[in-house]
Amino acid sequence: MIRSFFNQANSSKSEQAPELSRRRFLRAGLGACAALALPMAASTAHAAIRRPFEKKLSFLNLHTGERTQAVFWANGRYIPEGMRAINHVLRDHRTGDRRSIDPDLFDLLYLLQHRLGTRQEFHVISAYRSPATNAKLAEQSGGVAKNSMHTHGKAIDIRLPGRKLSDIRSAAMSLQAGGVGYYPSSNFVHLDTGNFRYW
Protein backbone atom coordinates (compact mmCIF):
# COMPACT_ATOMS: atom_id res chain seq x y z
CA MET A 1 0.00 0.00 0.00
CA ILE A 2 2.81 2.34 0.90
CA ARG A 3 4.57 1.33 -2.34
CA SER A 4 1.43 1.95 -4.39
CA PHE A 5 1.12 5.40 -2.74
CA PHE A 6 4.69 6.27 -3.74
CA ASN A 7 4.09 4.88 -7.22
CA GLN A 8 0.99 7.07 -7.57
CA ALA A 9 2.88 10.06 -6.21
CA ASN A 10 5.77 9.47 -8.61
CA SER A 11 3.47 9.01 -11.57
CA SER A 12 1.52 12.17 -10.69
CA LYS A 13 4.87 14.04 -10.28
CA SER A 14 6.01 12.89 -13.69
CA GLU A 15 2.67 13.94 -15.17
CA GLN A 16 2.96 17.35 -13.48
CA ALA A 17 6.61 17.88 -14.43
CA PRO A 18 5.89 19.62 -17.77
CA GLU A 19 3.31 21.85 -16.06
CA LEU A 20 5.76 22.76 -13.26
CA SER A 21 8.59 23.51 -15.66
CA ARG A 22 6.24 25.68 -17.72
CA ARG A 23 5.22 27.58 -14.57
CA ARG A 24 8.84 27.99 -13.53
CA PHE A 25 9.69 29.31 -16.99
CA LEU A 26 6.84 31.82 -16.88
CA ARG A 27 7.79 32.90 -13.37
CA ALA A 28 11.42 33.31 -14.38
CA GLY A 29 10.38 35.32 -17.43
CA LEU A 30 8.11 37.58 -15.40
CA GLY A 31 10.85 37.99 -12.81
CA ALA A 32 13.32 39.04 -15.49
CA CYS A 33 10.82 41.53 -16.93
CA ALA A 34 10.20 42.96 -13.47
CA ALA A 35 13.93 43.24 -12.84
CA LEU A 36 14.36 45.14 -16.10
CA ALA A 37 11.36 47.37 -15.41
CA LEU A 38 12.39 48.26 -11.84
CA PRO A 39 15.32 50.56 -12.73
CA MET A 40 13.08 52.41 -15.21
CA ALA A 41 10.27 52.68 -12.67
CA ALA A 42 12.72 53.79 -9.99
CA SER A 43 14.28 56.44 -12.23
CA THR A 44 10.80 57.69 -13.26
CA ALA A 45 9.72 57.84 -9.62
CA HIS A 46 12.98 59.62 -8.71
CA ALA A 47 12.42 62.16 -11.47
CA ALA A 48 8.87 62.72 -10.25
CA ILE A 49 10.13 63.31 -6.71
CA ARG A 50 12.80 65.73 -7.92
CA ARG A 51 10.39 67.63 -10.15
CA PRO A 52 9.04 70.38 -7.90
CA PHE A 53 5.29 70.52 -7.51
CA GLU A 54 5.63 74.15 -6.49
CA LYS A 55 8.38 76.75 -6.30
CA LYS A 56 8.53 79.04 -3.30
CA LEU A 57 10.81 81.94 -2.38
CA SER A 58 11.21 84.05 0.76
CA PHE A 59 12.50 87.62 0.92
CA LEU A 60 13.32 90.25 3.51
CA ASN A 61 13.64 93.81 2.21
CA LEU A 62 16.40 95.26 4.37
CA HIS A 63 15.22 98.85 3.75
CA THR A 64 11.53 98.44 4.62
CA GLY A 65 11.68 95.43 6.96
CA GLU A 66 8.93 93.78 4.91
CA ARG A 67 8.94 90.03 4.45
CA THR A 68 7.18 87.67 2.11
CA GLN A 69 7.15 83.95 1.52
CA ALA A 70 5.27 83.13 -1.65
CA VAL A 71 4.68 80.30 -4.09
CA PHE A 72 5.42 81.82 -7.50
CA TRP A 73 5.06 78.66 -9.60
CA ALA A 74 2.90 75.54 -9.27
CA ASN A 75 1.48 72.86 -11.56
CA GLY A 76 3.43 74.10 -14.55
CA ARG A 77 2.46 77.78 -14.38
CA TYR A 78 3.41 81.00 -12.66
CA ILE A 79 1.07 82.08 -9.87
CA PRO A 80 -0.01 85.74 -10.26
CA GLU A 81 -0.86 86.20 -6.54
CA GLY A 82 2.54 84.93 -5.44
CA MET A 83 4.35 87.05 -8.00
CA ARG A 84 2.41 90.15 -6.92
CA ALA A 85 3.40 89.55 -3.29
CA ILE A 86 7.06 89.29 -4.25
CA ASN A 87 6.88 92.29 -6.61
CA HIS A 88 5.50 94.39 -3.74
CA VAL A 89 8.43 93.58 -1.43
CA LEU A 90 10.95 94.08 -4.26
CA ARG A 91 9.62 97.50 -5.26
CA ASP A 92 11.74 100.68 -5.29
CA HIS A 93 11.76 101.52 -1.57
CA ARG A 94 12.75 105.13 -2.27
CA THR A 95 9.82 106.05 -4.52
CA GLY A 96 7.34 103.22 -3.93
CA ASP A 97 7.31 102.52 -7.68
CA ARG A 98 6.63 98.93 -8.59
CA ARG A 99 7.31 96.84 -11.66
CA SER A 100 6.73 93.21 -12.53
CA ILE A 101 9.94 91.34 -11.85
CA ASP A 102 11.15 89.04 -14.62
CA PRO A 103 9.95 85.49 -13.77
CA ASP A 104 13.33 84.21 -15.00
CA LEU A 105 14.91 86.01 -12.04
CA PHE A 106 12.66 84.07 -9.64
CA ASP A 107 13.65 80.83 -11.38
CA LEU A 108 17.32 81.79 -11.10
CA LEU A 109 16.97 82.48 -7.37
CA TYR A 110 15.11 79.20 -6.91
CA LEU A 111 17.95 77.31 -8.66
CA LEU A 112 20.52 79.16 -6.56
CA GLN A 113 18.69 78.19 -3.39
CA HIS A 114 18.79 74.53 -4.39
CA ARG A 115 22.42 74.70 -5.43
CA LEU A 116 23.23 76.07 -1.96
CA GLY A 117 20.96 73.51 -0.28
CA THR A 118 18.96 76.11 1.63
CA ARG A 119 15.48 77.55 1.93
CA GLN A 120 16.56 80.65 3.82
CA GLU A 121 15.02 83.95 2.92
CA PHE A 122 17.02 86.21 0.65
CA HIS A 123 18.03 89.51 2.22
CA VAL A 124 17.41 92.12 -0.46
CA ILE A 125 19.60 95.20 -0.80
CA SER A 126 18.15 96.29 -4.12
CA ALA A 127 15.72 94.86 -6.67
CA TYR A 128 13.54 97.09 -8.84
CA ARG A 129 14.80 100.66 -9.23
CA SER A 130 12.82 103.38 -10.92
CA PRO A 131 14.74 105.31 -13.61
CA ALA A 132 14.75 108.37 -11.29
CA THR A 133 16.31 106.38 -8.42
CA ASN A 134 18.83 104.78 -10.74
CA ALA A 135 19.86 108.18 -12.16
CA LYS A 136 20.48 109.52 -8.62
CA LEU A 137 22.52 106.46 -7.68
CA ALA A 138 24.51 106.71 -10.92
CA GLU A 139 25.43 110.32 -10.04
CA GLN A 140 26.69 109.20 -6.62
CA SER A 141 28.58 106.11 -7.78
CA GLY A 142 30.45 105.11 -10.89
CA GLY A 143 29.44 101.47 -10.26
CA VAL A 144 25.79 102.04 -11.24
CA ALA A 145 24.98 101.49 -14.90
CA LYS A 146 22.84 104.19 -16.53
CA ASN A 147 20.61 101.58 -18.13
CA SER A 148 20.79 99.17 -15.21
CA MET A 149 18.91 95.88 -15.42
CA HIS A 150 17.40 96.87 -12.06
CA THR A 151 15.27 99.43 -13.93
CA HIS A 152 13.78 96.61 -16.02
CA GLY A 153 13.00 94.32 -13.09
CA LYS A 154 15.69 91.90 -14.24
CA ALA A 155 18.24 92.24 -11.41
CA ILE A 156 18.54 91.84 -7.66
CA ASP A 157 21.29 92.39 -5.07
CA ILE A 158 21.15 89.82 -2.28
CA ARG A 159 22.88 88.13 0.62
CA LEU A 160 21.97 85.09 2.71
CA PRO A 161 22.41 85.16 6.50
CA GLY A 162 25.05 82.74 7.73
CA ARG A 163 26.38 82.12 4.22
CA LYS A 164 29.71 83.35 2.93
CA LEU A 165 29.31 85.83 0.10
CA SER A 166 31.99 83.95 -1.84
CA ASP A 167 29.93 80.73 -1.59
CA ILE A 168 26.85 82.50 -2.96
CA ARG A 169 28.93 83.88 -5.82
CA SER A 170 30.46 80.45 -6.60
CA ALA A 171 27.04 78.77 -6.57
CA ALA A 172 25.58 81.49 -8.82
CA MET A 173 28.48 81.20 -11.27
CA SER A 174 28.14 77.41 -11.38
CA LEU A 175 24.61 77.85 -12.77
CA GLN A 176 26.09 79.70 -15.79
CA ALA A 177 22.88 81.66 -16.22
CA GLY A 178 22.67 85.45 -16.12
CA GLY A 179 25.04 88.02 -14.69
CA VAL A 180 26.86 87.56 -11.38
CA GLY A 181 28.43 90.57 -9.69
CA TYR A 182 30.55 90.21 -6.54
CA TYR A 183 30.63 93.16 -4.11
CA PRO A 184 32.34 92.00 -0.90
CA SER A 185 32.92 95.56 0.36
CA SER A 186 29.17 96.21 0.22
CA ASN A 187 28.32 92.63 1.29
CA PHE A 188 26.08 91.55 -1.58
CA VAL A 189 25.98 89.51 -4.76
CA HIS A 190 24.25 90.92 -7.84
CA LEU A 191 22.21 88.58 -10.04
CA ASP A 192 20.46 89.38 -13.29
CA THR A 193 18.80 87.59 -16.19
CA GLY A 194 21.09 88.88 -18.92
CA ASN A 195 23.75 86.82 -20.69
CA PHE A 196 26.07 84.77 -18.50
CA ARG A 197 28.98 86.95 -17.35
CA TYR A 198 30.64 87.83 -14.09
CA TRP A 199 32.66 90.57 -12.47
The residues of the chain scoring below 70 in pLDDT are 1-52, 142
Q: What is the pLDDT of residue 75?
A: 93
In terms of CATH architecture, what is 54-198? Answer: 2-Layer Sandwich (3.30)
The Cα 133–Cα 138 span in angstroms is 9
Q: pTM of the predicted model, to two decimals?
A: 0.72
The answer for residues whose C-beta is within 8 angstroms of residue 120's C-beta and 6 or more apart is 58, 113, 160, 161, 162, 163
Q: What is the pLDDT of residue 143?
A: 73
Q: What is the pLDDT of residue 12?
A: 45
Q: Could you give phi then psi for residue 53, rounded to 5 degrees?
A: -75, -35
Q: What is the pLDDT of residue 51?
A: 59
The answer for residues whose C-beta is within 8 angstroms of residue 42's C-beta and 6 or more apart is none
pLDDT tens sequence across 129-151: 999 999 998 888 767 888 899 99
